[in-house]
Structure 1
Amino acid sequence: MTYSDSERVPTGVKGLDNLIEGGLLRGKTYLLTGPPGSGKTTLSMQFLIEGAKRGERVAYVSLIHDPHEAVKDIARFDPSVWVYVKSGKLILYDMGKSLWKGSTRAPAWGSVLFRIKELAENGKLSRLVIDPLTAIDFPTDNPAEKRAELANFIRSLEALGTTTILVAELTELDRYTEEHYLTDGVIMLHYFFGDREMIRALQILKMRRTRHGTGMYLIDFSEHGLVVHGLSPFDAGDEGL
């Protein structure tokens, strides 16, 4: 089945949409994972800014850091982000400030997911980023309950028509969690050292109902943000990148 352009949500990341039939499926939930410094927050913010530019209402939910720090970082590539923040098109929700106040334990799934669902519903959001999902704690002795809560949360967002990116820190390459199975797509960012410098790459592990690129693709930071190139990072030297 081929989906129309109206059912696709452009990511705002140059080169990425070419690999996923024009964008993410509207109203679905995706997992973005990778090691620290690989570009997860930058990619997520470009996704939100693209929505704001199209007149949508979007939100960045930070579970640890001050969300304004993420805006400061992306403003180096796209200063217009401040316009969307001030106009209310891009909502910054500092959930970490209240969740971690006076506590040394990670917040529980149930309360966090409920509050985020309320934000999406009341704010009539079309796009949502939760960063990082791995900050939320859940009893490891009851994985079935975690799967059920996350599944219900995803279904609730889909019912609202919200296209969501869940950002997660990469822990183990060969360990897959509930998010990998329950989300509609998984994008993984990598970096490794070449001959003289660090090389970044993007890999699409899963993208339901989408013909997607199956290789590992070179990415880098241009003056406009993260860019995905249509060549392997192992061929980067041959192309002069």
Structure 2
Amino acid sequence: MTDLPLRVAPLRRMPTGIDGLDHLLHGGLFVGGTYMLVGPTGMGKTILVNQVSFNTVAAGGRVLYLSLFAEQHAQMFAYLQSFQFFNPDSIGQNLVYFSMYNVFEADGWQGLLTYMRQEIRRHQATLVVVDGLPSRLDDDNGVITSLRFLHDMQSFIYSMQATLLLTTIGEFQSGSPPEQMVMDGIITVGAG
């Protein structure tokens, strides 16, 4: 048997457009990567993922912003309009917002996965945001169902060469919930 050299393409990065964050991430988020933003309520997770979203659109990307257990879009836009990055002309074009709460309530994790795949393909998203993922992903079928959702979503995101940002309430600690352990990266947001 002949040993063939392993050729692996270097991972590409998608800049967030936020200088300090891109510096910490050595140039941005990995294309095909899955990241979780974790922090207490009111610490700016939604503002941060919106800033990354608008910056991605400004750089030529397409963003699908999916809300699960998060504030209403009208309320969110009212807060965001005071920020320089906010560009209402992008909304509905290359930055599309959907609420997934009703899909999740009706069809659970599997229905959510099916819906997300369909919308990611339809919008050809380069960045997908899921704002308001429950801090514990247990449901009537247990944590395995939700971990399967994350695994299948990660595989799909990688195959589409998109990047996934999830927000959730909580904090990262060793011994954290298993859903945090399957991420490519965890970004904590908090005071101090």
- Normalising by structure 2, we get a TM-score of 0.83
Match of 1:134 in 2: 134
State how far apart, in whole Å, the 2-side matches of 1:174 and 1:107 are: 32
The correspondence of residues 3-152 of structure 1 with structure 2, limited to 5 A, is 3=10, 7-64=12-69, 65-78=71-84, 80-86=86-92, 88-96=93-101, 98-99=102-103, 108-134=108-134, 138-139=138-139, 142-152=142-152
What residue identity is the alignment partner of 2:118?
Answer: E
1:187 aligns with 2:187: yes
Displacement of 1:139 in angstroms is: 2.9
- Name the structure, 1 or 2, with higher relative contact order (CA <8 Å, separation 6+): 2
Aligned-residue Cα RMSD (Å) equals 2.7
Q: How has the CA–CA distance of structure 1 residues 90 and 141 changed in structure 2, closer, same or farther, with 3 Å as cutoff?
A: closer
Cα gap change, 1:171/1:141 in structure 2, threshold over 3 Å: closer, same or farther? farther
List alignment gaps of at least 5 residues for structure 2.
1-7
Distance 1:137 1:144, change over 3 A: closer
Percentage identity across aligned positions?
A: 24
Report the count of equivalent residues. 184
**2:112 counterpart letter in structure 1:** V
Between 1:127-136 and 1:177-186, the stretch displaced more is 127-136
Aligned to 1:222: none
- Which portions of structure 1, spanning 4 or more consecutive aligned residues, are displaced by more than 3 angstroms? 1-4, 135-138, 171-175
Measured in 1, the distance between the counterparts of 2:31 and 2:184 equals 11
Shift of 1:174: 5.3
For residues 80 and 149 of structure 1, the distance between their equivalents in structure 2, rounded to whole angstroms, comes to 31
Give the drift of 1:8.
1.1
Q: Deviations over 1:77-112 (max 9, x none)?
A: 1264201015x111011222x347xxxx69722211
| Structure 1 stretches lacking a partner, 5+ long | 192-198, 200-241
Q: Which has the higher strand share?
A: 1
Q: Which moved more, 1:30-39 or 1:153-162?
A: 153-162
Deviation of residue 9 (structure 1)?
0.9
Are the structure 2 counterparts of residues 107 and 71 from structure 1 closer, same or farther at C-alpha, using a change threshold of 3 Å? farther
